[in-house]
Chain A
Amino acid sequence: MTGGSIFWAVIQRELQIAFQRLGDLVSPLMFYVLVTALFPLALSPKREVLQNLAPAVLWIAALLALLLSMNALFRTDVEDGSMEQLVIGPHSLPLIMLAKTVAHWLVSGLPLVLLAPLLAVTYYLPAEGVRALCLTLLIGTPTLSLLGSIGAALTAGIRQSGALLALLVMPLMLPVLMYGARGTDLAAQGETISGPLYLLGAFMVLSLTLVPLASAAAIRVSLD
Protein backbone atom coordinates (compact mmCIF):
# COMPACT_ATOMS: atom_id res chain seq x y z
CA MET A 1 0.00 0.00 0.00
CA THR A 2 1.23 3.46 -0.72
CA GLY A 3 1.52 6.09 1.98
CA GLY A 4 -1.67 7.83 0.96
CA SER A 5 -3.80 4.75 0.84
CA ILE A 6 -2.75 3.40 4.23
CA PHE A 7 -3.85 6.73 5.64
CA TRP A 8 -7.36 6.43 4.24
CA ALA A 9 -7.50 2.71 4.98
CA VAL A 10 -6.82 3.32 8.66
CA ILE A 11 -9.37 6.12 8.82
CA GLN A 12 -11.96 3.96 7.14
CA ARG A 13 -11.36 1.10 9.54
CA GLU A 14 -11.46 3.35 12.59
CA LEU A 15 -14.73 4.88 11.45
CA GLN A 16 -16.23 1.45 10.87
CA ILE A 17 -15.27 0.36 14.37
CA ALA A 18 -16.56 3.61 15.85
CA PHE A 19 -19.95 3.32 14.24
CA GLN A 20 -20.37 -0.14 15.71
CA ARG A 21 -20.40 1.45 19.13
CA LEU A 22 -22.71 4.39 18.77
CA GLY A 23 -22.95 4.88 22.53
CA ASP A 24 -19.34 6.02 22.58
CA LEU A 25 -20.13 8.52 19.86
CA VAL A 26 -22.88 10.13 21.85
CA SER A 27 -21.25 10.49 25.26
CA PRO A 28 -18.91 13.40 24.43
CA LEU A 29 -21.92 15.22 23.02
CA MET A 30 -24.03 14.53 26.09
CA PHE A 31 -21.17 15.65 28.29
CA TYR A 32 -20.89 18.88 26.32
CA VAL A 33 -24.60 19.62 26.75
CA LEU A 34 -24.56 18.73 30.43
CA VAL A 35 -21.59 20.86 31.38
CA THR A 36 -22.97 23.77 29.40
CA ALA A 37 -26.21 23.44 31.32
CA LEU A 38 -24.43 23.56 34.67
CA PHE A 39 -23.50 27.21 34.55
CA PRO A 40 -26.93 28.81 34.16
CA LEU A 41 -28.11 26.55 36.95
CA ALA A 42 -25.19 27.10 39.27
CA LEU A 43 -24.67 30.78 38.65
CA SER A 44 -27.45 32.69 36.99
CA PRO A 45 -29.71 32.34 33.96
CA LYS A 46 -29.57 36.07 33.28
CA ARG A 47 -28.71 37.21 29.81
CA GLU A 48 -25.90 39.56 30.78
CA VAL A 49 -24.17 36.94 32.89
CA LEU A 50 -24.43 34.17 30.31
CA GLN A 51 -23.32 36.38 27.44
CA ASN A 52 -20.15 37.18 29.36
CA LEU A 53 -19.49 33.56 30.14
CA ALA A 54 -20.45 32.14 26.76
CA PRO A 55 -17.11 32.06 24.92
CA ALA A 56 -15.23 30.59 27.86
CA VAL A 57 -17.85 28.05 28.91
CA LEU A 58 -18.59 26.83 25.41
CA TRP A 59 -14.88 26.43 24.71
CA ILE A 60 -13.93 24.84 28.03
CA ALA A 61 -16.82 22.37 27.95
CA ALA A 62 -15.82 21.31 24.42
CA LEU A 63 -12.22 20.90 25.55
CA LEU A 64 -13.22 18.76 28.51
CA ALA A 65 -15.59 16.63 26.43
CA LEU A 66 -12.82 16.01 23.93
CA LEU A 67 -10.32 15.28 26.68
CA LEU A 68 -12.64 12.69 28.20
CA SER A 69 -12.88 10.84 24.92
CA MET A 70 -9.10 10.71 24.45
CA ASN A 71 -8.50 8.03 27.03
CA ALA A 72 -9.84 5.36 24.72
CA LEU A 73 -7.89 6.49 21.68
CA PHE A 74 -5.11 3.92 21.66
CA ARG A 75 -5.90 1.84 24.71
CA THR A 76 -8.01 -0.89 23.11
CA ASP A 77 -5.57 -1.25 20.25
CA VAL A 78 -2.65 -1.63 22.61
CA GLU A 79 -4.53 -4.16 24.71
CA ASP A 80 -5.69 -6.38 21.86
CA GLY A 81 -2.31 -6.35 20.15
CA SER A 82 -3.32 -4.63 16.93
CA MET A 83 -1.19 -1.60 17.72
CA GLU A 84 1.87 -3.78 17.98
CA GLN A 85 1.16 -5.15 14.51
CA LEU A 86 1.02 -1.67 13.13
CA VAL A 87 4.25 -0.63 14.83
CA ILE A 88 6.30 -3.51 13.49
CA GLY A 89 4.58 -3.34 10.11
CA PRO A 90 6.01 -1.79 6.96
CA HIS A 91 3.99 1.41 7.01
CA SER A 92 4.95 4.77 8.44
CA LEU A 93 3.93 4.82 12.08
CA PRO A 94 3.52 8.62 12.34
CA LEU A 95 1.17 8.47 9.37
CA ILE A 96 -0.86 5.75 11.04
CA MET A 97 -1.00 7.67 14.31
CA LEU A 98 -2.16 10.74 12.40
CA ALA A 99 -4.86 8.74 10.65
CA LYS A 100 -6.13 7.32 13.94
CA THR A 101 -6.24 10.76 15.50
CA VAL A 102 -8.03 12.26 12.51
CA ALA A 103 -10.61 9.50 12.65
CA HIS A 104 -11.04 10.11 16.36
CA TRP A 105 -11.59 13.82 15.76
CA LEU A 106 -14.15 13.11 13.06
CA VAL A 107 -16.09 11.01 15.53
CA SER A 108 -15.58 12.91 18.80
CA GLY A 109 -14.52 16.44 17.83
CA LEU A 110 -16.49 17.40 14.76
CA PRO A 111 -19.88 16.65 16.36
CA LEU A 112 -18.98 19.09 19.16
CA VAL A 113 -18.27 21.77 16.57
CA LEU A 114 -21.63 21.11 14.94
CA LEU A 115 -23.50 21.18 18.25
CA ALA A 116 -21.82 24.36 19.52
CA PRO A 117 -23.99 26.92 17.69
CA LEU A 118 -27.10 25.37 19.24
CA LEU A 119 -25.67 25.65 22.71
CA ALA A 120 -24.43 29.16 21.94
CA VAL A 121 -28.03 30.22 21.39
CA THR A 122 -28.88 29.15 24.94
CA TYR A 123 -26.16 31.51 26.12
CA TYR A 124 -27.51 34.46 24.13
CA LEU A 125 -24.28 34.72 22.18
CA PRO A 126 -24.67 37.26 19.34
CA ALA A 127 -24.32 36.15 15.73
CA GLU A 128 -20.74 37.31 15.26
CA GLY A 129 -19.85 35.43 18.41
CA VAL A 130 -21.48 32.23 17.21
CA ARG A 131 -19.64 32.48 13.92
CA ALA A 132 -16.36 33.04 15.72
CA LEU A 133 -17.08 30.17 18.09
CA CYS A 134 -17.65 27.74 15.24
CA LEU A 135 -14.58 28.88 13.33
CA THR A 136 -12.28 28.72 16.32
CA LEU A 137 -13.65 25.34 17.38
CA LEU A 138 -13.34 24.01 13.84
CA ILE A 139 -9.69 24.97 13.64
CA GLY A 140 -8.91 24.44 17.31
CA THR A 141 -10.41 21.04 18.09
CA PRO A 142 -8.21 19.13 15.62
CA THR A 143 -5.21 20.60 17.41
CA LEU A 144 -6.70 19.56 20.73
CA SER A 145 -7.22 16.03 19.43
CA LEU A 146 -3.65 15.88 18.21
CA LEU A 147 -2.22 17.16 21.48
CA GLY A 148 -4.44 14.73 23.37
CA SER A 149 -3.11 11.89 21.25
CA ILE A 150 0.35 12.43 22.73
CA GLY A 151 -1.04 11.93 26.21
CA ALA A 152 -3.10 8.98 25.03
CA ALA A 153 -0.03 7.34 23.52
CA LEU A 154 2.07 7.96 26.64
CA THR A 155 -0.55 6.49 28.97
CA ALA A 156 -1.84 3.70 26.71
CA GLY A 157 0.23 1.09 28.51
CA ILE A 158 -0.62 2.25 32.01
CA ARG A 159 -3.52 0.42 33.52
CA GLN A 160 -4.82 2.83 36.14
CA SER A 161 -3.87 6.11 34.58
CA GLY A 162 -6.87 8.03 35.87
CA ALA A 163 -6.50 11.73 35.37
CA LEU A 164 -2.86 11.47 34.32
CA LEU A 165 -3.69 12.00 30.65
CA ALA A 166 -5.58 15.20 31.44
CA LEU A 167 -2.78 16.44 33.70
CA LEU A 168 -0.17 15.86 31.02
CA VAL A 169 -2.08 17.30 28.15
CA MET A 170 -3.88 20.32 29.57
CA PRO A 171 -0.81 22.60 29.69
CA LEU A 172 -0.33 21.85 26.02
CA MET A 173 -3.92 22.78 25.24
CA LEU A 174 -3.86 26.11 27.03
CA PRO A 175 -2.71 28.32 24.13
CA VAL A 176 -5.42 26.89 21.86
CA LEU A 177 -8.02 27.47 24.55
CA MET A 178 -6.86 31.04 25.10
CA TYR A 179 -6.94 32.06 21.47
CA GLY A 180 -10.16 30.22 20.80
CA ALA A 181 -12.18 31.47 23.75
CA ARG A 182 -10.76 34.98 23.97
CA GLY A 183 -10.93 35.33 20.20
CA THR A 184 -14.60 34.43 20.30
CA ASP A 185 -15.09 36.96 23.08
CA LEU A 186 -13.45 39.68 20.99
CA ALA A 187 -15.59 38.81 18.00
CA ALA A 188 -18.75 38.93 20.08
CA GLN A 189 -17.80 42.47 21.04
CA GLY A 190 -17.46 43.40 17.38
CA GLU A 191 -13.70 43.13 16.97
CA THR A 192 -12.02 41.24 14.19
CA ILE A 193 -11.08 37.68 14.81
CA SER A 194 -8.38 37.31 12.15
CA GLY A 195 -5.41 37.44 14.54
CA PRO A 196 -6.48 34.60 16.81
CA LEU A 197 -7.70 32.65 13.80
CA TYR A 198 -4.31 32.86 12.09
CA LEU A 199 -2.59 31.72 15.26
CA LEU A 200 -5.01 28.84 15.71
CA GLY A 201 -4.34 27.88 12.12
CA ALA A 202 -0.62 28.01 12.78
CA PHE A 203 -1.02 25.78 15.85
CA MET A 204 -3.02 23.31 13.81
CA VAL A 205 -0.45 23.11 11.03
CA LEU A 206 2.36 22.79 13.57
CA SER A 207 0.53 19.99 15.35
CA LEU A 208 -0.37 18.17 12.15
CA THR A 209 3.27 17.98 11.19
CA LEU A 210 5.03 17.48 14.54
CA VAL A 211 2.60 15.67 16.82
CA PRO A 212 2.46 12.38 14.86
CA LEU A 213 6.23 12.07 15.34
CA ALA A 214 5.86 12.54 19.08
CA SER A 215 2.90 10.19 19.44
CA ALA A 216 4.65 7.54 17.35
CA ALA A 217 7.65 7.73 19.68
CA ALA A 218 5.34 7.64 22.68
CA ILE A 219 3.37 4.60 21.52
CA ARG A 220 6.60 2.71 20.90
CA VAL A 221 7.56 3.35 24.50
CA SER A 222 4.18 2.18 25.74
CA LEU A 223 4.37 -1.03 23.79
CA ASP A 224 7.76 -2.31 24.87
Chain B
Amino acid sequence: MWTWFHKLASPPHFYRMAGLLRPWFFWPAVILTVIGTYGGLVLAPPDYQMGDGFRIIYVHVPSAYLSTTIYGLMAVAAAVGLIWRIKLAHAVAASAAPIGASFTALALGTGMLWGKPMWGAYWAWDPRLTSELILLFIYFGYMSLRASFEDVNKADRASAVLAIVGVINLPIIHYSVIWWSSLHQGPSIKKLDAPSITGDMLWPLLIMILAFTLFFAAILLYRVKAEVLDREQNSRWVRDLVSGEV
Protein backbone atom coordinates (compact mmCIF):
# COMPACT_ATOMS: atom_id res chain seq x y z
CA MET B 1 0.00 0.00 0.00
CA TRP B 2 2.85 2.34 0.81
CA THR B 3 4.55 1.50 -2.46
CA TRP B 4 1.45 2.74 -4.25
CA PHE B 5 1.63 5.96 -2.29
CA HIS B 6 5.32 6.41 -3.00
CA LYS B 7 4.74 5.73 -6.67
CA LEU B 8 2.06 8.39 -6.69
CA ALA B 9 4.49 10.96 -5.38
CA SER B 10 6.76 10.34 -8.35
CA PRO B 11 6.03 13.03 -10.91
CA PRO B 12 5.95 11.02 -14.13
CA HIS B 13 3.69 8.41 -12.58
CA PHE B 14 1.41 11.06 -11.16
CA TYR B 15 1.29 12.84 -14.50
CA ARG B 16 0.11 9.70 -16.22
CA MET B 17 -2.43 8.85 -13.52
CA ALA B 18 -3.78 12.41 -13.60
CA GLY B 19 -4.34 12.17 -17.31
CA LEU B 20 -6.12 8.84 -16.97
CA LEU B 21 -8.31 9.82 -14.03
CA ARG B 22 -9.40 13.20 -15.24
CA PRO B 23 -12.21 12.14 -17.58
CA TRP B 24 -13.52 9.87 -14.83
CA PHE B 25 -14.01 12.94 -12.67
CA PHE B 26 -15.05 15.40 -15.33
CA TRP B 27 -17.86 13.60 -17.15
CA PRO B 28 -19.60 12.31 -14.02
CA ALA B 29 -19.37 15.90 -12.76
CA VAL B 30 -21.12 17.16 -15.88
CA ILE B 31 -23.84 14.52 -15.66
CA LEU B 32 -24.43 15.10 -11.96
CA THR B 33 -24.57 18.85 -12.51
CA VAL B 34 -27.28 18.40 -15.10
CA ILE B 35 -29.24 16.06 -12.85
CA GLY B 36 -28.81 18.30 -9.82
CA THR B 37 -29.79 21.43 -11.73
CA TYR B 38 -32.90 19.75 -13.10
CA GLY B 39 -33.74 18.46 -9.63
CA GLY B 40 -33.18 21.84 -8.06
CA LEU B 41 -34.89 24.00 -10.63
CA VAL B 42 -37.77 21.75 -11.65
CA LEU B 43 -38.43 18.90 -9.26
CA ALA B 44 -37.91 20.49 -5.86
CA PRO B 45 -41.02 22.17 -4.48
CA PRO B 46 -40.98 25.92 -3.87
CA ASP B 47 -40.04 27.08 -0.40
CA TYR B 48 -42.95 28.45 1.64
CA GLN B 49 -40.89 31.45 2.73
CA MET B 50 -38.97 32.35 -0.36
CA GLY B 51 -40.88 30.76 -3.19
CA ASP B 52 -38.71 29.90 -6.12
CA GLY B 53 -35.97 32.27 -5.01
CA PHE B 54 -34.52 29.70 -2.66
CA ARG B 55 -33.30 27.68 -5.64
CA ILE B 56 -30.14 29.77 -5.63
CA ILE B 57 -29.12 27.52 -2.76
CA TYR B 58 -28.33 24.81 -5.29
CA VAL B 59 -25.36 26.77 -6.59
CA HIS B 60 -24.57 28.94 -3.58
CA VAL B 61 -24.07 26.23 -0.99
CA PRO B 62 -21.89 23.99 -3.18
CA SER B 63 -19.64 26.92 -4.11
CA ALA B 64 -19.32 28.07 -0.51
CA TYR B 65 -18.56 24.52 0.57
CA LEU B 66 -15.94 24.19 -2.19
CA SER B 67 -14.33 27.52 -1.35
CA THR B 68 -13.53 26.46 2.21
CA THR B 69 -12.78 22.82 1.48
CA ILE B 70 -10.33 23.76 -1.26
CA TYR B 71 -8.57 26.09 1.14
CA GLY B 72 -8.30 23.28 3.68
CA LEU B 73 -6.89 20.97 1.01
CA MET B 74 -4.46 23.67 -0.04
CA ALA B 75 -3.23 24.16 3.51
CA VAL B 76 -2.83 20.42 4.08
CA ALA B 77 -0.96 20.01 0.79
CA ALA B 78 1.26 22.95 1.65
CA ALA B 79 2.00 21.49 5.09
CA VAL B 80 2.79 18.07 3.59
CA GLY B 81 5.10 19.72 1.08
CA LEU B 82 6.81 21.75 3.79
CA ILE B 83 7.24 18.97 6.34
CA TRP B 84 8.02 16.00 4.13
CA ARG B 85 9.46 18.05 1.26
CA ILE B 86 7.28 16.44 -1.37
CA LYS B 87 7.35 18.72 -4.41
CA LEU B 88 4.14 17.27 -5.76
CA ALA B 89 2.28 18.42 -2.66
CA HIS B 90 3.40 22.00 -3.36
CA ALA B 91 2.23 21.61 -6.95
CA VAL B 92 -1.20 20.56 -5.68
CA ALA B 93 -1.41 23.56 -3.39
CA ALA B 94 -0.41 25.95 -6.17
CA SER B 95 -2.96 24.41 -8.54
CA ALA B 96 -5.80 24.49 -6.05
CA ALA B 97 -5.56 28.18 -5.23
CA PRO B 98 -7.01 29.76 -8.40
CA ILE B 99 -9.85 27.25 -8.45
CA GLY B 100 -10.65 27.98 -4.81
CA ALA B 101 -10.55 31.72 -5.41
CA SER B 102 -12.98 31.46 -8.33
CA PHE B 103 -15.47 29.47 -6.26
CA THR B 104 -15.11 31.91 -3.37
CA ALA B 105 -16.01 34.73 -5.75
CA LEU B 106 -18.93 32.67 -7.00
CA ALA B 107 -20.10 32.01 -3.45
CA LEU B 108 -19.98 35.74 -2.74
CA GLY B 109 -21.80 36.61 -5.98
CA THR B 110 -24.55 34.06 -5.51
CA GLY B 111 -24.74 35.01 -1.85
CA MET B 112 -25.40 38.61 -2.84
CA LEU B 113 -28.03 37.52 -5.34
CA TRP B 114 -29.70 35.55 -2.60
CA GLY B 115 -29.49 38.39 -0.14
CA LYS B 116 -31.38 40.94 -2.18
CA PRO B 117 -34.68 39.05 -2.47
CA MET B 118 -34.28 37.35 0.91
CA TRP B 119 -33.41 40.26 3.17
CA GLY B 120 -33.68 43.26 0.86
CA ALA B 121 -29.99 44.03 0.64
CA TYR B 122 -27.21 42.80 -1.60
CA TRP B 123 -24.75 42.77 1.24
CA ALA B 124 -24.67 42.33 5.00
CA TRP B 125 -21.66 42.07 7.25
CA ASP B 126 -22.90 38.84 8.71
CA PRO B 127 -20.52 36.05 9.79
CA ARG B 128 -20.75 33.95 6.66
CA LEU B 129 -20.44 36.63 4.00
CA THR B 130 -17.73 38.46 5.92
CA SER B 131 -15.66 35.31 6.43
CA GLU B 132 -16.13 34.44 2.78
CA LEU B 133 -14.84 37.87 1.75
CA ILE B 134 -11.78 37.53 3.97
CA LEU B 135 -11.20 34.08 2.47
CA LEU B 136 -11.09 35.69 -0.98
CA PHE B 137 -8.43 38.11 0.24
CA ILE B 138 -6.44 35.26 1.71
CA TYR B 139 -6.54 33.43 -1.63
CA PHE B 140 -5.36 36.58 -3.43
CA GLY B 141 -2.61 37.09 -0.87
CA TYR B 142 -1.47 33.52 -1.37
CA MET B 143 -1.39 33.84 -5.15
CA SER B 144 0.32 37.25 -5.02
CA LEU B 145 3.00 35.94 -2.69
CA ARG B 146 3.65 32.99 -4.99
CA ALA B 147 3.95 35.29 -7.97
CA SER B 148 6.51 37.51 -6.21
CA PHE B 149 9.17 34.86 -6.11
CA GLU B 150 11.12 33.87 -9.17
CA ASP B 151 12.45 30.71 -7.61
CA VAL B 152 9.75 28.04 -7.43
CA ASN B 153 11.13 26.46 -4.28
CA LYS B 154 11.07 29.74 -2.41
CA ALA B 155 7.57 30.44 -3.66
CA ASP B 156 6.48 27.00 -2.48
CA ARG B 157 7.87 27.34 1.00
CA ALA B 158 6.87 30.96 1.60
CA SER B 159 3.30 30.40 0.44
CA ALA B 160 3.15 27.21 2.51
CA VAL B 161 3.90 29.21 5.66
CA LEU B 162 1.20 31.68 4.68
CA ALA B 163 -1.37 28.97 3.95
CA ILE B 164 -0.80 27.30 7.31
CA VAL B 165 -1.04 30.58 9.20
CA GLY B 166 -4.24 31.39 7.34
CA VAL B 167 -5.86 28.14 8.40
CA ILE B 168 -5.65 29.19 12.02
CA ASN B 169 -6.88 32.64 11.18
CA LEU B 170 -10.02 31.75 9.29
CA PRO B 171 -11.99 30.07 12.10
CA ILE B 172 -10.99 32.85 14.47
CA ILE B 173 -12.40 35.48 12.13
CA HIS B 174 -15.57 33.47 11.58
CA TYR B 175 -16.27 33.03 15.26
CA SER B 176 -15.31 36.60 16.07
CA VAL B 177 -17.96 37.90 13.72
CA ILE B 178 -20.51 35.46 15.14
CA TRP B 179 -19.68 36.51 18.71
CA TRP B 180 -20.11 40.18 17.97
CA SER B 181 -23.33 39.57 16.04
CA SER B 182 -24.75 37.72 19.03
CA LEU B 183 -24.02 40.67 21.32
CA HIS B 184 -25.96 43.17 19.29
CA GLN B 185 -29.46 41.81 19.32
CA GLY B 186 -32.04 44.19 18.05
CA PRO B 187 -34.43 45.00 15.26
CA SER B 188 -31.54 45.63 12.92
CA ILE B 189 -30.54 41.96 13.05
CA LYS B 190 -32.17 40.02 10.29
CA LYS B 191 -32.71 36.31 10.51
CA LEU B 192 -29.85 35.24 8.32
CA ASP B 193 -30.38 31.51 8.49
CA ALA B 194 -30.97 29.26 5.53
CA PRO B 195 -34.56 28.14 5.01
CA SER B 196 -35.35 24.85 6.66
CA ILE B 197 -34.83 22.15 4.11
CA THR B 198 -36.98 19.09 3.55
CA GLY B 199 -36.08 15.78 1.97
CA ASP B 200 -37.16 16.42 -1.57
CA MET B 201 -35.31 19.73 -1.51
CA LEU B 202 -32.23 18.09 -0.07
CA TRP B 203 -31.27 15.46 -2.60
CA PRO B 204 -30.55 17.85 -5.50
CA LEU B 205 -28.35 19.84 -3.12
CA LEU B 206 -26.31 16.78 -2.21
CA ILE B 207 -25.98 15.87 -5.86
CA MET B 208 -24.79 19.37 -6.71
CA ILE B 209 -22.23 19.28 -3.89
CA LEU B 210 -20.91 15.99 -5.21
CA ALA B 211 -20.93 17.33 -8.77
CA PHE B 212 -18.96 20.43 -7.80
CA THR B 213 -16.43 18.34 -5.89
CA LEU B 214 -15.83 16.04 -8.86
CA PHE B 215 -15.54 19.09 -11.10
CA PHE B 216 -12.92 20.57 -8.80
CA ALA B 217 -10.98 17.28 -8.86
CA ALA B 218 -10.98 17.26 -12.66
CA ILE B 219 -9.79 20.86 -12.99
CA LEU B 220 -7.19 20.29 -10.26
CA LEU B 221 -5.73 17.34 -12.16
CA TYR B 222 -5.43 19.51 -15.30
CA ARG B 223 -3.59 22.22 -13.41
CA VAL B 224 -1.34 19.86 -11.48
CA LYS B 225 -0.26 18.31 -14.77
CA ALA B 226 0.80 21.74 -15.99
CA GLU B 227 2.59 22.48 -12.71
CA VAL B 228 4.45 19.19 -12.81
CA LEU B 229 5.57 19.85 -16.38
CA ASP B 230 6.91 23.28 -15.47
CA ARG B 231 8.76 22.03 -12.44
CA GLU B 232 10.24 18.99 -14.15
CA GLN B 233 10.90 20.57 -17.51
CA ASN B 234 14.59 19.72 -17.52
CA SER B 235 14.11 16.08 -16.72
CA ARG B 236 14.36 13.15 -19.09
CA TRP B 237 10.79 11.98 -18.83
CA VAL B 238 9.37 15.37 -19.72
CA ARG B 239 11.62 15.72 -22.74
CA ASP B 240 10.64 12.25 -23.92
CA LEU B 241 6.98 13.00 -23.34
CA VAL B 242 7.09 16.25 -25.22
CA SER B 243 9.13 14.86 -28.12
CA GLY B 244 6.63 12.04 -28.33
CA GLU B 245 3.75 14.45 -28.54
CA VAL B 246 5.40 16.78 -31.06
Indicate whether A and B are direct neighbours in the complex (CB within 8 Å).
yes
Residues of A within 8 A of B (CB): 150, 154-155, 157-158, 161, 164, 167-168, 170-172, 174-175, 178-179, 182, 186, 214, 217-218, 221-222, 224
Chain A binding surface SS class: helix
Q: Report how far A168 CA is from B159 CA in the complex, Å.
A: 10
Q: Report how far A164 CA is from B180 CA in the complex, Å.
A: 29
The answer to whether B161 touches A171 (Cβ under 8 A) is: no
Residues of B within 8 A of A (CB): 134, 137-138, 140-141, 144-145, 148-149, 151, 153-154, 157-158, 161-162, 164-166, 169, 172-173, 176-177, 180, 183
Contacts of B151 in A (CB 8 A): 224
Contacts of B149 in A (CB 8 A): 157-158
Q: Report how far A218 CA is from B159 CA in the complex, Å.
A: 9
**What residue of chain A has the Cβ atom nearest to residue B170's Cβ?**
A171
Picked from A155, A158, A167, the residue with its CB within 8 Å of the CB of B140 is A167
The answer to whether B166 touches A171 (Cβ under 8 A) is: yes
Contacts of B140 in A (CB 8 A): 167
Q: Report how far A175 CA is from B145 CA in the complex, Å.
A: 22
**What residue of chain A has the Cβ atom nearest to residue B168's Cβ?**
A210
Contacts of B148 in A (CB 8 A): 155, 158, 161, 164
The answer to whether B176 touches A178 (Cβ under 8 A) is: yes
Q: 16 interchain pairs (CB within 8 A)?
A: A150-B165, A155-B145, A155-B148, A164-B145, A167-B140, A171-B134, A171-B166, A171-B173, A172-B165, A174-B173, A175-B173, A178-B176, A221-B161, A222-B158, A224-B151, A224-B153
Contacts of A222 in B (CB 8 A): 154, 158
Q: Report how far A11 CA is from B95 CA in the complex, Å.
A: 41
Q: Report how far A221 CA is from B161 CA in the complex, Å.
A: 9
- Which of B134, B172, B173 neighbours the largest number of chain A CB atoms within 10 Å of its CB? B172
Contacts of B144 in A (CB 8 A): 164, 167-168
**What residue of chain A has the Cβ atom nearest to residue B133's Cβ?**
A171
The answer to whether B141 touches A171 (Cβ under 8 A) is: yes
Contacts of B134 in A (CB 8 A): 171, 174
Known contacts A167-B141, A175-B172, A178-B176; A221 and B154 CB within 8 A of each other = yes
Known contacts A158-B148, A164-B148, A167-B144; A218 and B173 CB within 8 A of each other = no
B93 to chain A, nearest CB (A): 15
Known contacts A158-B149, A167-B144; A218 and B158 CB within 8 A of each other = yes
B84 to chain A, nearest CB (A): 15
**What residue of chain A has the Cβ atom nearest to residue B177's Cβ?**
A178
The answer to whether A154 touches B162 (Cβ under 8 A) is: yes
Q: Report how far A161 CA is from B153 CA in the complex, Å.
A: 18
